Amino acid sequence: MTLKILITPKSYKNYKDKNYPLLTAAGYEIIENNTGKTLTEDEIIDLARQDVAGIIVGVDPLPERVLKSCRDLKAISKYGVGMDNIDLDAAARLGIKVKNAVGSNSVSVSELAIALMFEAARRVSVMSAGVKAGGWDRVGGIELTGKTLGLIGCGQIGKEVAKRAKGLCMEVEVYDPYFKEEGFLEEYGVKLSASLDELLAAADVVSLHLPLNRETRQLINSRTIAKMKKSVILINTARGELVDEEALYAALVSKSIAVAAQDVFSQEPPPPGEKLLALENFILTPHTGAFTAEAGERMALYSARNLLELLGH
């Protein structure tokens, strides 16, 4: 019997020429996701119920129910970084090894965070759309120079954002209770905030770069929003569920924050009629932070190598 590897991310096919041979040379047959969409739990079970030793997974759901149903599964390799779609506790209990592609997309996501910050500050796409529709209306903006960028989470992506923001003549403060790299703070002139509230009070732009887990779900809520400046720009390229979207809606409508620009949403794509999408001060891109040629190459290669390593090759 030939063991198989299920590859779920749609975009992995762009990198198949380089990476499939790594997997087939190790003796595996490859099962692709041909639905053109993120797989559902049942679709994963149908494809991986038996003989599938490894999964290279995108954002498709891997809760305990799915992991238990895939009886030959030994390893999961994340095509990306955030592992909130995988029940890590269940995987550990079931002896399924898990690894993510650390650092594969940090430059791309950091560049998108900066792009969203400029979009929020200068509304480039809004004005361009207006001009293309026959208008010539300017939208007033703000300068970013001299403003304080507050980063919540300063890992691979947060650090790349910090370096770029310093290059833009911004002040940078970070809140990250697990941060230990004093040298980074000194080298780039970045301040470590003593508390989340201190960071929120100081920041002109708040950008989220932390994982979604039990501790961080809805970290941005009516209480934390109330600590922010009314003029604040909120950037979220991390995960939608980090933000209480009801509280965000209320804050954007009442202008108790200025603009929110996100690459992620609690439900992707958002449901029809989602009320946040109707607000002119809410910007949303379709989870495209890592969707660059360079990050794609790295995610495909790192995830293939990681899977083989987890499977003992």
Does 82 interact with ligand NAD (rule: CB under 6 A)? Answer: yes
Closest to ligand NAD by CB, 54 or 80: 80
Q: Is 239 designated active site?
A: yes
According to CB under 6 A, which one of 53, 152, 205, 243 is a site residue for ligand NAD?
152
Element (H, E) at 170: none
Closest residue to ligand NAD using C-beta atoms: 155
Does 170 interact with ligand NAD (rule: CB under 6 A)? Answer: no
Distance CA 259, CA 245 (A): 13
Q: Which of 123, 164, 209, 287 is catalytic?
A: 287
Give the shortest CB-175-to-ligand NAD separation in angstroms.
6
The three-class DSSP label of residue 53 is strand
Q: Which of 239, 241, 245, 298 is catalytic?
A: 239
Q: Is 209 designated active site?
A: no
Q: Is 119 designated active site?
A: no
Closest to ligand NAD by CB, 217 or 305: 217
Which stretches within the chain are classed as H helix? 16-25, 41-48, 64-69, 88-93, 106-122, 124-132, 156-167, 182-188, 196-202, 222-226, 245-253, 293-310
- Cα torsion for 270, 242, 60, 23, to the nearest 10°? 140
According to CB under 6 A, which one of 74, 78, 164, 287 is a site residue for ligand NAD?
287
**Closest of 250, 190, 194 to residue 220, by C-alpha:** 250
Residues near ligand NAD, by CB under 6 A: 80-82, 105-106, 109, 152-158, 175-179, 209-212, 215-216, 237-239, 263-264, 287, 289-290
